């Protein structure tokens, strides 16, 4: 038996249209924020991936440089024989360089530093004072890649007499880690 379409009067059509519009608005209020949030997250992820790709391409573009650098490190980075001997040697060299540049060492502290995957550090924390030009010469002498000396932290303050300074400095010497594993 065929069904006959129901005829709606004007008021029923208006109510049906209002119900459809309210349903449409409610669905938009529920799903549009979720869709825009997921779209925003996808765009952010795309930006991050693009930045990672650009960084990776920059590293790959300099592949020969990094291979040469790795070879240089393997050939020249010193090997740690005995940490105490190296610490003592490093302290003697630092004291001699400080004295040569007119700096007065006030405090020395040997540091217990953890090994990393890439190097074994031996370090000391120095507190000293002296003339500014001597300090500049002292630090410039430490900036020698062949010695593998690193200054991860230092603080300089003006002393009471203007050309003199007080400095607290942490100095590390990096040694080769056998087979690239921490010990």
CATH of the domain at 150: 3.30.70.60
Residue 14 lies inside a defined structural domain of this protein: yes
Residue 66 lies inside a defined structural domain of this protein: no
Residue 143 lies inside a defined structural domain of this protein: yes
Query: Do 25 and 113 fall within a single domain?
Result: no
Query: Do 124 and 169 fall within a single domain?
Result: yes
pTM value surpassing 0.75? no
Strands (E), the chain: 104-111, 119-131, 149-158, 164-176
Query: Do 172 and 93 fall within a single domain?
Result: yes
Amino acid 142: pLDDT: 83
Query: Do 169 and 87 fall within a single domain?
Result: yes
Amino acid 116: pLDDT: 83
Q: Quote the DSSP letter at residue 180.
A: G
Query: Do 85 and 170 fall within a single domain?
Result: yes
Please work out, in degrees rounded to the nearest 5, the angle formed at the alpha carbon of residue 182 by the alpha carbons of 179 and 183.
Answer: 100
| Structure token pair of residue 45 | 């992820």
Decide the pairing of beta strands 119-131 and 149-158: unpaired
- What is the residue range of 30's domain? 10-61
Amino acid 183: pLDDT: 45
Residue 44 lies inside a defined structural domain of this protein: yes
Q: What is the mean pLDDT of each run of 10 residues along the chain (183 residues)?
A: 77 92 91 91 95 92 89 84 80 88 89 83 89 89 80 84 83 76 44
Query: Do 51 and 90 fall within a single domain?
Result: no
Query: Do 145 and 98 fall within a single domain?
Result: yes
Residue 87 lies inside a defined structural domain of this protein: yes
Separation between Cα atoms, residue 46 and residue 110, nearest integer Å: 47
Query: Do 111 and 155 fall within a single domain?
Result: yes
- The total number of structural domains in the chain stands at 2
Query: Do 85 and 165 fall within a single domain?
Result: yes
Residue 74 lies inside a defined structural domain of this protein: no
Residue 71 lies inside a defined structural domain of this protein: no
**79: nearest Cα among 183, 176, 182:** 176
Residue 124 lies inside a defined structural domain of this protein: yes
Residues 6+ apart with CB under 8 A from 59: 66
């Amino acid at each position: 038996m065929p069904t006959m379409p129901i005829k709606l009067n004007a008021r029923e059509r208006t109510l049906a249209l209002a119900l459809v519009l309210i349903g449409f608005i409610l669905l938009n209020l529920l799903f549009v924020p979720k869709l825009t949030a997921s779209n925003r997250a996808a765009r952010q992820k795309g930006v991050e991936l693009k930045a990672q790709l650009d960084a990776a391409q920059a590293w790959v573009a300099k592949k020969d440089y990094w291979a040469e650098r790795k070879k240089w490190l393997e050939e020249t980075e010193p090997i740690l024989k005995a940490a105490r001997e190296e610490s003592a040697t490093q302290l003697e060299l630092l004291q001699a360089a400080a004295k040569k540049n007119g700096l007065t060492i006030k405090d020395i502290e040997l540091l217990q530093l953890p090994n990393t995957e890439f190097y074994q550090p031996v370090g000391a924390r120095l507190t000293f004072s002296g003339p500014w030009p001597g300090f500049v010469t002292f630090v410039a002498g430490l900036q020698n890649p062949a010695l593998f000396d690193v200054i991860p932290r230092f603080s300089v303050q003006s002393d009471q007499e203007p050309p003199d300074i007080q400095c607290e400095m942490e100095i590390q010497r990096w040694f080769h880690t056998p087979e690239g594993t921490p010990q």
